[in-house]
Structures are given as C-alpha cells and as structure tokens.
Structure 1
Amino acid sequence: MKTNLNILLIEDDMIEVMKLNRAISSLQLTHKITEANNGEEALKVLELKDRLPDIILLDLNMPKINGIEFLSILKNDERMKYIPTIILTTSSNQKDLLECYKIGIAGYILKPLKYEDYITKIEKLLDYWSINELIKA
C-alpha cells in the first residue's frame, strides 16, 4: 500500500520548486512538500520540526550551504542520518556523484530538460519511496 510522503525539498531555484509542485499536482499525488531554499534554511526547518521528513530531495548547487555540505552535516547527525536523501540536480559531474554516494545518499537523479521526462522521473521516484518501509522519527 502506498503512503503519503512527508518530503523536504531543498532547492534554491524557484522555477524548480514550482516545477516539482506542478508535477505532483498533475500526477494527483497528495504528498506533503516542505520547502527550503538552501542547506542552511533546511537545517533550521529540521531543528524546528517534531517529525522528520520521510525523504529529502536535495539540489547540489546552492548558496550558503551547498548540497554536499548539507549532506555531510545531515549524515553526521544521529537523529537525521537515516533520512533517505535523493539528489535531484543538473550536475552530471562524476566527482559530485561519487562524493554523494560516499557520504550516503539513497539516489542521484539528473533533472531532464524535457518536462515530460521530468514528470516520469518524479512519478517513479515517489512511487518507489511511497511503498518503502521508512523509519519514522
């Protein structure tokens, strides 16, 4: 049975935020999205929340605390290190990919240029995580 996910989206590009929200809406999904514009803001959101997100969708290229820096902080925190974190980025840099997996991501997804391809990737991603057994903190 699929469950509704509590998703933390960490993305500094408002067009990308709108695109994800539009994709979820067009797919008629009822997942709850919490948005943070960068890693620094995301850490504040995580500190304030009683309940941690089920998954995190993380962009890499952001101001203040970038995606890799955020990931390192997250994975060194006993309370938050088990949250599945999926990189959602335009970076096809092999160094970024290897570094993210080394730190402990659950997936690395390249944002496609075509909106239809983006919808397909988001649908598959959220379908997969909505049937997983997730740790509830």
Structure 2
Amino acid sequence: MTVMRPLKQIHVINKVIHLESGKRRGCAEHYLGDENSDKPCLILLDLNMSIMNGIEFLQAVKDDEQLRRIPVVMLTTSDEQHDRLYSFNFGVAG
C-alpha cells in the first residue's frame, strides 16, 4: 500500500506485480526466472524480506545475465550504513 498509493496518485499505468522473495514457488525469484513471465522495467526491493533478504536477492538479480540490466531501487527503514553500502556495491540504482 505504501508504494501503490503514490503510484495511483501520479497516474502510473504500468502493471505492478507484488511478490514475496525467497526460493519457493510463487516468489520473486521464481517469477523472474520464468521465461514466460513479463520482465519488469523496474524492481522495487525491500531490504527486509523473509527467507532471502534484499541484499541476497539483489546479488542474485545482478548475477543473472538476463536480469542485471533491470534497475533496482532498494526500500528500507534501516539506518545501517553497511546495508546501503552493500546495496550500492551490488549495483542498486537508488
């Protein structure tokens, strides 16, 4: 809701797909790895996710030849400087 509300207010018409992370079926990693799924033009990624945290997911995306060019924006409430440094070291867009 925190993301969807402002997108609606500025009339973004792009399809938004909300997925949980992790390595189980139906999660973001599975969706992005499925060649039949539409690839996003942008990934909004939460640092604090279950099973696979945001840094791990970001690393997996950037290690994938097909996905690495998709810009990733990391969302976090963390004040930890190392979280931000890790994110930028793995190529987060913002």
After superposition, the CA RMSD in angstroms is 1.4
Runs of 4+ more than 4 Å apart: none
Out of 28, 32, 37, the position equivalent to 2:11 is 28
- Which protein is richer in helix relative to its size? 1
TM-score, normalised to structure 2, is 0.86
2:33 paired residue among 44, 47, 56: 47
Q: Which has the higher contact order (CA 8 A, sep 6+)?
A: 1
Q: Which has the larger radius of gyration?
A: 1
Could you tell me whether the CA contact under 8 Å between 1:39 and 1:67 is conserved in 2?
no
Please state how far the C-alpha of 1:28 moved relative to its aligned partner. 2.1
Is 1:71 the counterpart of 2:54? The answer is: no
Instruction: State the percentage of identical aligned residues.
Output: 39
Contact 2:71 2:92 in 1 (8 A): yes
